[in-house]
Amino acid sequence: MRLVELDARAEMAGLFATQSLADARALVPGLAVREIDRSAIAARFADFADWHSNASPLVAVLPDIAAYGDLVLDITGVTHLFGGEAAMLEKLTGRLENLGFAVTGGIADSIGAAWAMAHFAPGRIVSSDAAAALAPLPVAALRLAEPVIDGLMQMGLKRVGDLYGRNRPALAARFGAGLLLRLDQALGHVEEKFTPRLPLAEHYAERRFAEPIGLLDDVLMTARDLAIRLASDLERKGLGAQAFHLFLYRVDHQVTTLTVRAGRATRDPLHIARLFAHQAERLGGEYDAGFGIDMIRLAADTLAALDSAQLGAFGTRDGTADLDRLYDRMASRLGPNAISRIKFVNTHIPERAARLEPVLADTPDDPLAAPDPALPRPIRLLPRPEPIEVVAAEIPDGPPRAMVWRRVTYRFLKARGPERIGPEWWRHARPLASTRDHDDLPEGAPVFDADALTRDYFIMEDDGGRRFWLFRHGLYGEGANPAWFLHGFFA
């Protein structure tokens, strides 16, 4: 394992990226490390990029070096809003710095030159003669792959300026056409395009307002209208969607997004509108239109083929579609955790063998969790085992003759068992005893206390034909006097 990123204190301590964790630990004992989750960071950074759409509509993440870390904005035509280029740069970076981010920036006519400035001459604004500005920077400023940088360094070509006026075919032959492309891009000889974040969804409907709107009801009404338009669009293509996003573009350059999800692909406008309504209900006071909304866009996401015939009047209806729809509505109104269903769990312990989980959770079923038919389990399980008094149980593992439960005596005629179930010892907070002799236990290490209790289950039938499921908690000789409990009923 190696270090990938460090904070300022780690750096002060002499650690560096690519260092092996073992080395780092040797240097700094008790070092706190976290495993990096690149995709999560990339996702967070993408959100961060979206936020910048308030400065310029055209925002992109530059993935040339890493999936996160470099943000590019096309500021053509927006600088006047900030009082010029310098002020804009100051404002954008300053704002992030105030939030505690370490940030650098640069402005230039090409993406390449701006990147070079941001990384190697922070704060510079290159309005003309990019070549002169780039010349003293190291070749790494050209967004090159590590081996190419390495190769150039070996040749002694260390500055961007060293590359000017060299034999281009010779360079291309040695370092690939990519080097020249990057150089030309930085110098502005070749135009570089970027794909902005928040690309327009393939399937969407939008409406602009001459006058900004603000009321939530107006928003929801618009959402329904848009849903109808979107539905007909989707129907033509034979598609349905599982997620819908409602973008509320506010006049103050902010975007509020509402998202709803459906259990299965849908395009039913009324269903969609209702989901948004429920969502908005839950939003309650948090809804804020600011100075008004001047555009609303509804976009479909997670598309899946949806045959139009299935929605027809004579389509087969097994009821699951309705059930799913009910789940969607209940979940969007009451919250996703409010609706649950039973799921089998892979364990020997009877009361843990089934549990509730949200209906919308899509955890795969463990094939081993299905109950074993050879081990009979009662129809009803008491919420917690109830203590009983038993009469004349054979030692060590025989069934009782009778029991007293809630002050009523039951006499048993038949018995089956015992079925012996050991405790899930790994859940106990109590420490374990070693089963091999270690006389080298460290001072203060945990000591054993014998408290693991095994259960012996019996199926008992009484003289009235009632069948009970009861167990003795603890084996004879295992603890003190074992207690008996009633755990369930078969009939």
Partner 1 sequence: MNKIVDINLRRAQDLVQDLVKDTAEELSASEPPPPAFAELLTTSNFSFLRGGSDPEELIAHAVAGRLTGLGLCDRNSMAGVVRAYSALKQLREDETTCQAAAGFRYVVGVRLVFADGTPDIIAYPTDRAAYGRLCRLLTLGNTREIEGKRATKGVCTLNFTDLADFAEGQLFILDPDDGDWDKIRGTLLALKKLARGRVWLAACCTFRGDDRARLNRLAALAREARVKLIASNNVLYHIPERRMLQDVVTCIREHITIFEAGRRLEQNAERHIKSPAEMARLFREHPDAIAQTQVFLDRIDFRLDQLSYSYPEETVGNGETAQATLERLAWAGAEKRYPKGIPEKISAGLGSELALIAEKQYAAYFLTVEEIVRYAREEKGILCQGRGSAANSTVCFCLGITEVDPMRSSLVFGRFLSTERDEPPDIDVDFEHERREEVIQHIYEKYGRDRASLTATVVCYRSKGAIREVAKVFGISEDTVDALNELSWSWYNNRDLKPERVKELGLDLNDPILGKVLRLAGDLMGFPRHLSQHVGGFVLTQDKLDTYVPIANAAMEDRTTVEWDKDDLDALRILKVDVLALGMLSCIHRAFDLMQDHYGRNLTLAGIRQEEDGPDLEYEHLDWDRKESAPVYRMTHRADTIGVFQIESRAQMSMLPRLQPKCFYDLVIEVAIVRPGPIQGGMVHPYLKRRLGFETPEQLGPGLQAVLERTKGIPLFQEQAMQIAVVAAGFSPGKADKLRRAMATFRRNGTIHTLKDDFLNGMLANNYPRDFAERCFKQIEGFGDYGFPESHAASFALLVYVSCWLKCHYPDVFACALLNSQPMGFYAPAQIIRDVAEHGVEVRAPDINLSTYDSLLEPGPRAAGRLHRRHAEMLGDIKSEKALRLGLRLVKGLGEAQADLIVARRGDGYRSVRDLWLRTGLPVAVLQKLAAADAFGSIGLTRRQALWAVRGLMGTDGAETLPLFTGSGPAPSRLDRVESLPEMAPGESVVHDYRTLTFSLKAHPVSFLRDRLDRRGTLPTERLLETAIRPGAVIETAGLVLVRQRPGTASGVIFMTLEDETGIANIIIWDRVFQANRRAVLGSRLLAVRGQLQREGLVTHLVAQSFTDLTPELTALANGFDLTDAALARADEGRTGPSRPDSRDGGELRRREALQRQARAALPGGRNFH
Phi/psi at 139 (5° precision)? -60, -20
Phi/psi at 399 (5° precision)? -80, 160
- Residues 147-176 binding partner 1 (CB under 8 A) are 149-151, 153-158, 162, 166-167, 169-170, 172-175
Q: Are 75 and 194 in contact (CB under 8 A)?
A: no
| DSSP alpha helix (H) spans, 31-145 | 38-51, 85-98, 111-120, 130-134
Structure token pair of residue 366: 């463990």
| 135 near partner 1 (CB under 8 A) | no
Please compute, for residue 361, the number of CA atoms within 13 A of its CA located in the half-sphere on the CB side.
Answer: 13
- Residues 69-88 binding partner 1 (CB under 8 A) are 69
Structure token pair of residue 396: 């060590």
Task: With contacts defined by CB under 8 A, name the span among 25-33, 40-48, 236-244, 406-414 that binds partner 1.
Answer: 25-33
Note the Cα 416 to chain centre separation in Å.
48
Structure token pair of residue 197: 């974040």
Question: By C-alpha distance, which of 484, 460, 470, 469 is closest to 411?
Answer: 460
Q: Nearer to partner 1 by C-beta: 74 or 162?
A: 162
Q: Nearer to partner 1 by C-beta: 153 or 326?
A: 153
| 2 near partner 1 (CB under 8 A) | no
Q: Nearer to partner 1 by C-beta: 124 or 250?
A: 124
For the beta carbon of residue 374, count every other beta carbon within 10 angstroms.
5
Terminus-to-terminus CA distance in the chain, angstroms? 58
Q: Nearer to partner 1 by C-beta: 90 or 294?
A: 90
- Residues 265-324 binding partner 1 (CB under 8 A) are none
129: left (phi over 0), alpha (psi -120 to 50) or beta: left
Q: Are 140 and 163 in contact (CB under 8 A)?
A: no
Task: With contacts defined by CB under 8 A, name the span among 78-86, 275-283, 370-378, 382-390 that binds partner 1.
Answer: 370-378
In angstroms, give the least distance from the CB of 117 to partner 1: 9
- Out of 37, 307, 366, 463, the residue judged to bind partner 1 by CB under 8 A: 366
- Residues 334-363 binding partner 1 (CB under 8 A) are 345-348
| 99 near partner 1 (CB under 8 A) | no
| 480 near partner 1 (CB under 8 A) | no
- Token look-up 């006519």 returns 109
Per-residue binding string, partner 1, 218-257, x by CB under 8 A, is: ----------------------------------------
| # binding residues, partner 1 (CB under 8 A) | 99
| 38 near partner 1 (CB under 8 A) | no
| 98 near partner 1 (CB under 8 A) | no
- Out of 9, 13, 315, 463, the residue judged to bind partner 1 by CB under 8 A: 13
- Residues 173-212 binding partner 1 (CB under 8 A) are 173-175, 177
Q: Nearer to partner 1 by C-beta: 82 or 344?
A: 344
Distance CA 203, CA 218 (A): 22
Q: Nearer to partner 1 by C-beta: 138 or 212?
A: 138
- Residues 402-461 binding partner 1 (CB under 8 A) are 416-422, 425-426, 428-440, 442-446, 454, 456-457, 459
Question: By C-alpha distance, which of 456, 479, 477, 465 is closest to 390?
Answer: 456
Helix axis angle, 177-187 relative to 111-120, nearest 10°? 90
